[in-house]
């Protein structure tokens, strides 16, 4: 997913106030949601956790290993989120948790009525394009990187839930609607990227962008290939995925740049040109704004670790 971002961390609970060292829980309850902040201060394996509502979880500190839906276990790190339906049990390992390096994760349980109200409004007022006109959560795309919008919205929700303002329920409701829409857009992006549906014009456009990523790609050309007017194409793309066509092109170019930078022989200048950037300084500034570090720093760190850096 584009533009992985880390949420603002919440202050760690003082040891004297901890009720347990494994999944110590702080709860903030509102009318339409419940914000849970979990902390673990010692190693543990296969800790079970189940909610009665649909839950959006997001890592703040440390590392978990998640066992979910019978799929292979996966690392869960800051900058990532996981969706868990109501009544589904997750099993969690804490391989690195300690008093000095605790894990911290939020679990935002959302009332089903709020979800259905939001989906109903979207489906009635803003139906999707293509063969599937309905907005809905995709159960298969449950683990993803946070994008900029999701990070901002989640930080907003956390702030509202922990606020003492009398209007916090109203503010939280608005943010929850934003959150639901943004998550579905993230899932739509992944679904269409993975799709081989030749009848979906957006799937075709994404494949075209990836195949021509080092060339100049203009919005006019993309809209013609999608058989839409320029304004319609832009609007449909933005509504479906939560980012503009140009933002998606940048995302793909930065993703390609990260792959090339992991080669010790590559230079920042050569990578910049190969990824379709004519100005290496612009490329460096853009890379840092998205990844949090410069291309040179990314290359140095990845050379040491031998793997992709999730900045």
Paired tokens of 259: 């792959």
Q: Let me know: does 219 contact 197? Beta carbons within 8 Å.
A: no
The predicted-structure confidence for 245-278, as pLDDT tens digits, reads as follows 999 999 899 999 999 998 878 899 999 999 999 8
Prediction pTM value: 0.82
Tell me the pairing of strands 90-94 and 64-67.
Answer: antiparallel
Paired tokens of 287: 């890379």
When mean pLDDT is compared across 85-94, 187-196, 274-283, 285-294, the lowest value belongs to: 187-196
**Residue 101 placed within a domain:** yes
**Residue 207 placed within a domain:** no
Q: Let me know: does 261 contact 295? Beta carbons within 8 Å.
A: yes
CA atoms within 13 A on the CB side of 137: 18
**Residue 10 placed within a domain:** no
Count of domains forming the chain: 1
Three-state DSSP class for residue 24: strand
Q: How confident is the model at residue 134 (pLDDT cuts 50, 70, 90)?
A: confident
Instruction: Determine the pLDDT at residue 148.
Output: 82
Q: How many residues are there in the chain?
A: 311
pLDDT at 103 over 80: yes
**Residue 98 placed within a domain:** yes
**Residue 160 placed within a domain:** yes
Q: How confident is the model at residue 129 (pLDDT cuts 50, 70, 90)?
A: low
Instruction: Determine the pLDDT at residue 130.
Output: 60
The predicted-structure confidence for 171-187, as pLDDT tens digits, reads as follows 999 999 999 999 999 99
> Can you tell me the distance from the alpha carbon of 98 to that of 96, in angstroms, rounded to the nearest whole number?
7
Domain containing 156 — which CATH number? 2.60.120.280
Neighbours of 37 (CB within 10 A): 21
Instruction: Print the domain residue range for 101.
Output: 15-192
**Residue 270 placed within a domain:** no
pLDDT at 167 over 50: yes
Q: Which residue has the higher pLDDT, 13 or 6?
A: 13
Q: How confident is the model at residue 311 (pLDDT cuts 50, 70, 90)?
A: very low
Percent of the chain with pLDDT over 70: 94
When mean pLDDT is compared across 158-167, 170-179, 289-298, the lowest value belongs to: 289-298
> Can you tell me the distance from the alpha carbon of 180 to that of 119, in angstroms, rounded to the nearest whole number?
8
pLDDT at 162 over 80: yes
HEC readout, 72-128: CCEEECCCEEEEECCCCCEEEEECCCCCCCCEEEEEEEECHHHHHHHHHHHHHHCCC
Paired tokens of 60: 């703040």
**Residue 151 placed within a domain:** yes
> Can you tell me the distance from the alpha carbon of 78 to that of 129, in angstroms, rounded to the nearest whole number?
33
Neighbours of 231 (CB within 10 A): 10
**Residue 90 placed within a domain:** yes
Q: How confident is the model at residue 102 (pLDDT cuts 50, 70, 90)?
A: very high
């Amino acid at each position: 997913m584009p533009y992985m971002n880390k949420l603002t961390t919440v202050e760690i609970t003082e040891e004297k106030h901890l009720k347990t060292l494994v999944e110590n829980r702080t709860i903030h309850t509102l009318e339409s949601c419940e914000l849970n902040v979990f902390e673990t201060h010692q190693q543990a394996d296969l800790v079970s956790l189940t909610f009665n509502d649909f839950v959006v979880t997001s890592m703040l500190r440390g590392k978990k290993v998640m066992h979910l839906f019978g799929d292979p276990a996966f690392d869960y790190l800051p900058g990532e989120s996981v969706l868990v339906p109501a009544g589904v049990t997750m099993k969690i390992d804490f391989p690195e948790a300690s008093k000095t390096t605790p894990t911290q994760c939020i679990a935002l349980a959302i009332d089903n009525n709020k979800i259905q109200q939001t989906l109903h409004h979207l489906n009635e007022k803003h139906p999707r394009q293509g063969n599937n006109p309905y907005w809905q959560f995709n159960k298969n795309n449950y683990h993803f990187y946070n994008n900029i919008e999701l990070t901002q919205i989640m930080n907003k929700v956390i702030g509202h839930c922990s606020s003492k303002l009398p209007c916090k329920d109203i503010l939280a409701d608005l943010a929850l609607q934003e959150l639901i829409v943004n998550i579905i857009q993230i899932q739509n992006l992944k679904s269409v990227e993975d799709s081989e549906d030749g009848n979906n014009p957006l799937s075709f456009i994404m494949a075209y962008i990836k195949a021509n990523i080092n060339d100049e790609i203009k919005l006019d050309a993309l809209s013609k290939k999608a058989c839409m007017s320029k304004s319609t194409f832009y609007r449909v793309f933005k509504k479906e995925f939560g980012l503009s066509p140009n933002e998606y092109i940048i995302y793909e170019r930065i993703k390609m740049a990260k792959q090339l930078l992991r080669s010790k022989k590559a230079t920042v200048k050569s990578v910049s040109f190969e990824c379709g950037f004519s100005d290496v300084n612009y490329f460096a500034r853009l890379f840092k704004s998205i990844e949090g570090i410069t291309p040179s720093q990314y290359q140095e760190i990845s050379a040491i670790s031998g793997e992709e850096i999730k900045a």
